[in-house]
Copies of this chain bind each other. A is one copy, B any other.
Amino acid sequence: MPSESPPLHNRIAMLRVERGISRRELAEALGVHYQTVGYLERGEYSPSLVLALQIAEFFAVPVETVFSRRPFPPLGG
Contact = CB atoms under 8 A, between A and B. Distances in A.
Interface of A: 5-6, 8, 46-54, 56, 62-64, 67-69
Contacts of A50: 5-6, 8, 46, 69
Contacts of A49: 8, 46-49, 51-52, 63, 67
Contacts of A62: 62-64
Contacts of A8: 49-50, 53
A22 B68 CA distance: 27
Contacts of A5: 50
A67 B53 contact: yes
18 contacts: A5-B50, A6-B50, A8-B49, A46-B48, A46-B50, A47-B49, A48-B48, A49-B51, A49-B52, A49-B63, A50-B69, A52-B52, A52-B63, A53-B68, A53-B69, A62-B62, A62-B63, A62-B64
